[in-house]
Chain A
Amino acid sequence: MDNRLTDALAFANYRLTLQTQRKNIDARVETMLLLNYNNSIFKVTQSLIGYVSSQVSANPKQVLYIEDSIGNVSSIEKSKDFLKNLLETYNKALELKYNEQQKLKKARATKTVVGAK
């Protein structure tokens, strides 16, 4: 096969591997964004953090009613503590995503994308 074609196909394989790895980072981050609180599992999102934060600012002692990841409503009495947990979970997940993306930016070959020997 013509070298130019071989190189182009190798590059295509690199692009596919890179794109899949990006998706895999997202998948891992998704699992890290799960928070188990009050016997319910919440998916931590910016909007959930924003909503809880505004409730805490307006009335820190108010009981919050929040839908969990499968739509069941959970009553949360310690809203401040809940907010703290949401923020911790979110920051940890996004920090990992940032670090992994930085690693990927430097990877210019298929082998380095997956970190193979």
Chain B
Amino acid sequence: MTKGFMMFAYNNEQIDYMKLATVASSALKKYMPDIPVVLVTNERSIKEFSKKQSQRKLIEKTWDEVIMTDPEYETNIRIHQDGAYKSFNAQFTNTNKHDIYNLTPFDETILIDTDYLVGSNNLEMLFGGQSNVAMHRDAMNLRCEEPYTTERWLHYAGIRMWWSTVVYWRKSEEAEHFFNVWAHVKDHWEYYRFLYKFPGSLYRTDYAASIASHLCDGMQDGGFVGRIPLHMRYQDQRDDIIEVKGANDWIMLSNLPEEYKNIAVRITGEDIHMMNKLSILRNYRSIMRCMT
């Protein structure tokens, strides 16, 4: 059985996803050096990233294979926050995430988002496991608190949410059904948005994967998708990095709407979903120094 990691990176005007992917892949190489990492991107992103010679060299070093595919442009504007005081809009290209089933060269694949930085080899445990598809069900912020209800349920009387930040699957009939249904949900987003009653019009892969899981499971929550053990640790978009102490050692600022509750937090030895992408890019050099 072949196994490996994969990630998507499509640059937009505001966010350099190639740089984010470089950091995420370097972390994978540091903690699980024997497992190959494949990047899925497009010509434009590679071109932008390759402008500097030093970055051109990084491509070979960071990824074992680069797959080029350009999804059809579909407007999908997402509001991002960069810490507590700044927000901006950016195109979010995620409409072909479900295509990964056909793109992967591996029998067992873990797809991670480019803002998911591993700080341990825990994900390796998923390979060869008992589930054909696995994702995170539970998440925990920097303060060890659960996310808001809208990040746990699609609707207060609806279904639980699965995080598509990390998706494990083994090539199998079940996984094929899952990704096919995911594609169907994406193609009929307006209908499913109405049916599952979640707010907003942004195409969220967390929601699409959650609906696909629910449909594949016979419209129940019966264990079709395996739970990745424990929680997914995340840094909120309101939070920021204060200091990079090491490749898996961070001092962060955890911000709340009530400023007097803001605190510094040290996270060590854990995998972490850094939702404030610009905080990674601001600290790109110091993070990369720690990765090598």
Contacts and interface: CB of A to CB of B under 8 A. Distances in A.
B113 to A, nearest CB: 19
Given A36-B125, A40-B130, A114-B251, A31 B265 contact: no
Interface residues of B, number: 34
B259 to A, nearest CB: 11
Interface string B233-270: 10000000011010000010010000011011111111
Interface in A88-106: none
Contact of B243 (A16, A72, A117): A117
A34 B263 contact: no
Contacts of A117: 243
A28 to B, nearest CB: 5
A21 B266 contact: yes
Interface stretch (B16-24, B40-48, B223-231): B223-231
A28 B264 contact: no
Given A27-B233, A36-B124, A115 B251 contact: yes
B124 to A, nearest CB: 7
B122 A70 contact: no
Interface in B131-187: 131, 140, 142-144
B229 A39 contact: no
Contacts of A36: 124-125
Q: Chain A interface: which size bin? A: 20 to 34
Contacts of A68: 130
A41 B129 contact: yes
Contact of B229 (A17, A70, A110, A116): A70
Contacts of A26: 144
A40 B226 CA distance: 12
A116 B143 contact: no
A115 B120 contact: no
A20 B251 CA distance: 13
B128 interface: yes
Contacts, number: 81
A30 interface: yes
Contacts of B243: 116-117
Contacts of B245: 115
A23 B122 contact: no
Contact of B122 (A13, A34, A110): A34
A17 B270 contact: no
A63 to B, nearest CB: 18
A110 B265 CA distance: 10
A58 B250 CA distance: 47
A16 B263 contact: yes
A41 to B, nearest CB: 5
A70 B227 contact: yes
B265 A17 contact: yes
Contact of A20 (B131, B144, B229, B260): B144
Given A31-B270, A39-B128, A114 B265 contact: yes
Nearest to B249: A115
Contacts of A39: 128-130
A110 B264 CA distance: 8
Interface of A: 9, 13, 16-17, 20-21, 23-24, 26-28, 30-32, 34, 36, 39-41, 43, 68-70, 72, 110-111, 113-117
25 contacts: A16-B263, A17-B265, A20-B254, A20-B263, A23-B143, A24-B142, A24-B265, A26-B144, A27-B233, A34-B122, A34-B229, A36-B125, A39-B129, A41-B129, A69-B229, A70-B130, A70-B131, A70-B226, A70-B227, A110-B263, A111-B264, A113-B266, A115-B245, A116-B243, A116-B264
Given A16-B261, A69-B229, 11 more contacts: A20-B265, A23-B143, A24-B142, A24-B265, A27-B270, A31-B122, A31-B230, A39-B128, A70-B131, A114-B266, A116-B242
